[in-house]
Structure 1
Amino acid sequence: MEPLAERLRPRTLDEVLGQPHLTGERGLLRRMLEAKRLASMVLFGPPGTGKTTLAHLLAEGAGKPFLRLSAVEAGLKEVRQAVERARQEGGLVLFLDEIHRFNKAQQDALLPHLESGLLTLIGATAENPAFLLTPALRSRLRLFPLRPLSQEDLLALLRRALEDPRGLPGVAYEEEALRLLAQAAEGDARFALNTLELAAAFGKVDLKSVREALGAERLGMDREGDRFYDLVSALHKSLRGSHVDAALYYLARLLEGGADPRYLARRLIRVALEDVGLADPLALRLSVAAKEAYEALGSPEGELALVEAAVYLALAPKSNSLYQAWKRAEEAAKAHPEAPVPLNLRNAPTALARALGHGEGYAYYHEDKEGSFAQRYLPEGLEGLTLYEATGEGFEERVRERLKALRGQFQSARPPKGG
């Protein structure tokens, strides 16, 4: 029998989970299918996010023959055979898995056939195509990023698997066990489904069977049996608390235990945004650079980039002022969703809009600084709204002084009468 992940492969774009930016109502892939104009592309993202599934659906929707090759095994001979078949059948969708493994000569062999339209190439890779594909090939391809599935997406998928006749209908399960599996799968739908199938072999999908199916590498990370997310939490809190040695210890535990370095890189970026913020604006740049460096080098060399980012984040001054300001901004937007934009700030693209006073009295900062400070920015009734407060940590000390001066200018300027 085929593995569960294969049996449950989506049959339509509507069944694809986790990629609404591509498959949703305004998603580019959906619009391609509706127009029946399939372009050559690369689908790139973590394992188990639907790259192969989307390639099948796109070829089927375009009504073209489909050929799947793996760049791990295929070479120039297989490319020539694909071209010959495309000539015989009047075109072909070539799905090339692990496309980043093709060398320059192999990539160049595809170019004339993409240019002529004989081949429509759909490449798939878990790596960053910007680093691993030649500029000539990249210029002929659309690049579509796929995202890891959220825990809610994975939960929906697991429930579908236990209800769909193609899956495991009738198997008893515990909701808590599904949540544990969705968490441990880390966005990988294939892993989640195949682990679910293994857990179901124990007779019931409960916490015990899921833990046994997952194995130590996903749950324990080491012989002590500590949970993966306990270690991630400890890493994050050690970075937030500026304990560099603890942060390095938990990072090492995670990497040694088999955690996905890309996931850890994303966590470091989150720390830079949520806990360092404007106290050290370079923290975000360094964290993003560490992720890109890992993607370029891979393991183990690229892991040192994560180490550098972790040490920097632990030692950096801390501020959650951006995080708190955004929470307050969201609350204000929910509390006042219809507050009218002041007339002077409104767009005025038409004569009618201008006749209604849109844009009237707007003071352009670069030409009229005093007038700019005097005009209204917030809707009526929200003039005193204060969302962002800078701390005295690191660079935010300078931000605080600048903020104090700006708010002083707004308060001392006389607001204009009317709009």
Structure 2
Amino acid sequence: MRPRSLEEVVGQEHLTGPGKPLRRMLEAGRLSSFILWGPPGTGKTTLARLMAQGTGRGIVALSAVSAGVKDIKEAVAKAQEEDGLVLFLDEIHRFNKSQQDALLPHVESGLLTLIGATTENPSFEVNPALRSRARVYVLKPLDEAALLRLLRRALEHPEGLRVQGVQEKALELIARAAMGDARRALSALELTASLGEGQIDLEAAQEALGAGTLAMDKGGEYFYDLISALHKSVRGSHVDAALYYLARMLQGGADPLYLARRLVRMAVEDIGLADPNALRLATAAKEAYEFLGSPEGELALAELTLYLALAPKSNSAYVAWKAAQEAASAHPDAPIPMVLRNAPTGLMKDLGYGRGYAYYHDDPEGSFAQPYLPEALRGLELYQAAGEGWEEKVKERLERLRSRFRGQPPRRTP
């Protein structure tokens, strides 16, 4: 069922349509190095082969899973004999730095035209030097309409799947469950025909798909896209989106304790002092999951997600802490005011350590008049109270305190 021309390629019109990059390259007959980045089953290998064949260039296909520097040298020798060829390197992200470096001079000279394919972000997995010599084209997951066209083609093709009957709802279910992966869709179609004894019906399709697998690559870019979506939905107070992403990650096999840790982080970073109880509930939810396990403990994480999404938001502690770290880095040895220093020995007392310290409970006014910050940082104000939740209540008190430290009369609320 692999397409034999760009016209037969399903999806990726942003690359193969009229006036688009791959189409223009093919029509000009000039192939330059590029990397195809996209999810599995979106046509990376197919497009690479079509591009090489369409320009009449010889092609050597390697998989970075099993190939090494020796295979590269053999490809270079062949390219020298044929005055250049296309090297298709599948799973290019599997090549280590030295293997990728071995390609550089030959790609740069034009002896090898590199077409790489990867499911991983080239920004992280491909050397910058090699990446600068090859354009990166992003392939998108196939939508349901494209997958339906693909499935019908497999049933209508003279050499395609032979079946006795087809239910449209079964095809729609397979297209939806394939999650943008053409290979997964065709495999499910074949298994459905086998289980249905020549019939593509809904019951056989459901049996073929089973529980299915969710689109989440543990530790990969898509995994971090999901956790980013969860975090930003909580931060944005979108309760429904937050619950959806939590459920999607749990069903996709994410470690619940990893999610619990991230939720604790959200309680600290994004709710903060707007609701000090958020951190207590976050640690309690983590302990509840550890005690109950799955699936019962997942409800504690869902409850926490709801609470955090609904809570007032403040990142004032986060911002203040970053500013404090920057101040400490900029002034790592600023002298501590003498009045605040500890004086455990007679010599230190004689030197003035702690002299004149005003104990707040005995002398509140004097305590506000004495210096607390080093001279170089006098007047520094790191923490700015936000206007939501608990912080709204303490904002006025903070301003009164700072006015007294500045030696100004406290502001009165009208």
Q: What is the TM-score with the length of structure 1 in the denominator? A: 0.54
Task: Decide which of 239, 242, 258 is 1:242's aligned counterpart.
Answer: 239
User: What's the counterpart of residue 49 of structure 2?
Assistant: 56
CA distance in 1, matches of 2:109, 2:162: 48
Alignment of 1:180-219 (within 5 A): 180-202=173-195, 203-218=198-213
CA distance in 2, matches of 1:138, 1:253: 35
Q: 1:168 to 1:311 in 2, by over 3 A?
A: same
User: What's the counterpart of residue 255 of structure 1?
Assistant: 252
Alignment of 1:98-113 (within 5 A): 98-113=91-106
Is the partner of 2:133 in helix, strand or coil?
A: coil
Task: Decide which of 142, 159, 170 is 1:177's aligned counterpart.
Answer: 170
Which amino acid letter does the alignment assign opposite residue 100 of structure 2?
Answer: Q
Task: Indicate if the aligned counterparts of 1:176 and 1:207 stay in contact, CA closer than 8 A.
Answer: yes
1:163 aligns with 2:156: yes
CA RMSD of aligned residues (A): 3.1
Shift of 1:149: 0.3
Q: 1:54 to 1:247 in 2, by over 3 A?
A: closer
Residues 55-111 of structure 1: CA deviation (Å, up to 9, x unaligned): 010000010111111101111011101101111122111110110111111111101
Is the partner of 1:67 in helix, strand or coil?
A: strand
Shift of 1:184: 0.3
Residues 195-219 of structure 1: CA deviation (Å, up to 9, x unaligned): 1011111321111111111122349
Q: 1:25 to 1:255 in 2, by over 3 A?
A: same
Task: Indicate if the aligned counterparts of 1:161 and 1:169 stay in contact, CA closer than 8 A.
Answer: no
User: What's the counterpart of residue 111 of structure 2?
Assistant: 118
Shift of 1:16: 0.7
Is the partner of 1:201 in helix, strand or coil?
A: helix
Which amino acid letter does the alignment assign opposite residue 157 of structure 1?
Answer: L
Q: 1:218 to 1:107 in 2, by over 3 A?
A: closer
CA distance in 1, matches of 2:142, 2:17: 15
Which amino acid letter does the alignment assign opposite residue 128 of structure 2?
Answer: P
Shift of 1:132: 1.0
Task: Indicate if the aligned counterparts of 1:163 and 1:170 stay in contact, CA closer than 8 A.
Answer: no
Is the partner of 1:43 in helix, strand or coil?
A: strand
Instruction: State how many pairs are aligned.
Output: 248
In structure 1, the gaps of 5 or more residues are: 1-7, 222-234, 259-306, 319-393, 395-419
Q: 1:43 to 1:247 in 2, by over 3 A?
A: closer
Shift of 1:26: 1.4
Is the partner of 2:158 in helix, strand or coil?
A: coil
Which amino acid letter does the alignment assign opposite residue 217 of structure 1?
Answer: G
Alignment of 1:280-299 (within 5 A): none
1:72 aligns with 2:65: yes
CA distance in 1, matches of 2:64, 2:213: 29
Shift of 1:171: 3.8
Shift of 1:168: 1.4
User: What's the counterpart of residue 417 of structure 1?
Assistant: none
Q: Percent identity?
A: 59
Which amino acid letter does the alignment assign opposite residue 209 of structure 2?
Answer: L
Q: 1:197 to 1:257 in 2, by over 3 A?
A: farther
CA distance in 1, matches of 2:239, 2:31: 50
CA distance in 1, matches of 2:21, 2:104: 23
Residues 38-62 of structure 1: CA deviation (Å, up to 9, x unaligned): 0101000000000000001000001
Task: Indicate if the aligned counterparts of 2:163 and 2:193 stay in contact, CA closer than 8 A.
Answer: no
1:130 aligns with 2:123: yes
Look at both structures and tell me which one has the larger radius of gyration over its CA atoms. Answer: 2
Shift of 1:255: 2.1
CA distance in 2, matches of 1:256, 1:184: 17
Q: 1:218 to 1:211 in 2, by over 3 A?
A: farther
Q: 1:252 to 1:120 in 2, by over 3 A?
A: closer
User: What's the counterpart of residue 309 of structure 2?
Assistant: 314
